[in-house]
Amino acid sequence: MRILDITRILSENTPVYPGDIRPAFRQEGQGWYRVSSLMLGSHTGTHIDAPSHCADYNETIDRIPIENLIGGCRVIDARSTGPLIKASFFQGKMETAQRILLKTDSSVSDRFPSEYPVLSPDAAHLLIRYGTRCIGIDTPSLEPLEGDGIIHHLLLGSGCSIVEFLDLSQVPPGDYTLVALPLRLAGLDGSPARVVLLKNGEL
């Protein structure tokens, strides 16, 4: 079984959404052991959004269905879609896939982009109609910087989990098993996550 780590390195240099808390780490020696303190936002680096990320919903990251985040998924090449990923892009690409990861050109950058491909409302509605359990992307968000939150509102309100800021640069499009595990943080709206893909039959 081949294991592909699609998590971005989380460090003090990790780019953050404008206005978010910049990550800061402090490590202290305590005799024979070390202990580190961390300061970071709940949506820093590769992360998972809970429905409570939207003010209208209450389900927090410790309560989202883990089944959304573990299971068969499809990586789809979205590098030629342009700035808006529309519903028509998904025609013939989804079939029975319940978890979708979108690979754009953002995976090759370690900076926070001023512009990046985003999901259109009609694409969000299509994913909901298909019963998509999870949608992931390698951009910082499914919405533009000036977005109004409608994409998050639609998807999270339908029970679809969102994983953002993945690193899919070394991942060919195709079918995999997704394992995306947020920290079980009580009452919070999201969490940094370790996300891997498993490919059966490969070494």
Q: How far is CA 14 from CA 11, 46, 99, 162, in A?
A: 5, 10, 26, 20
For residue 53, indicate whether it is catalytic. yes
Contact 191, 48 (CB under 8 A): yes
Tokens of 40: 């970071």
Catalytic annotation, pick one of 43, 47, 53, 152: 53
3-state secondary structure of 29: strand
Residue 6 vs residues 103, 108, 138, 164, 179: alpha-carbon distances, Å: 11, 12, 9, 11, 10
Quote the CA–CA distance of 57 and 84 in Å, as a whole number.
26
List, as own/partner pairs, every contact residues 22-28 make where C-beta atoms lie below 8 angstroms and the sequence separation is at least 24, other chains included. none
| Active site members | 53
